[in-house]
Structure 1
Amino acid sequence: MAASGAKPTAQQSKMGDCNKEAGDKKGDERKAFMKTCLSAKKPATQQDKMKACNKDAGEKKLKGDERKKFMSECLKG
């Protein structure tokens, strides 16, 4: 369990969100819903995209305007 004051992990947040969405479902219906909800991929956040694009730009050794153009295109995708 997370220490008090600490942010919940992504999995803990997802579990909380899925629990709210499950509402008053019971038994097998709830189990099936939770399994589907928890295994669903969350779309990448802007921060995740930024990290991935920065990594790609670094690997390609892009600089200046070339890097700006690459980052702009990468972040749109």
Structure 2
Amino acid sequence: MKILRAPLLIVGLLLCSQGFAANTAQQEKMTTCNADATAKSLKGDERKAFMSNCLKAAPAANEAGTALTPQQEKMKNCNVNATAKLLKGDERKAFMSNCLKR
């Protein structure tokens, strides 16, 4: 009986882990959309509409062909703007912080 417990436990853990891995991408997208809605201070019907559109939207692809999340897109745009303004050090940190909060 003890010999049978270990293989059954391993099989059960493998089956459970597959379900968790499948939800990861959707959970990340939900987290990103939620953070963006919070950053925009959306409430009520506006928030529902934003979340619906955000979750339906296909992610943009970067040069390597991998998808960027909305937060990564925002970071990329803020970084480009900070570089264009030739900001460095504390000025750059402050600019990036304000840019990412919008």
More helix by share: 2
TM-score, structure 2 as length reference:
0.35
Considering only CA atoms, is the larger Rg found in Structure 1 or Structure 2? 2
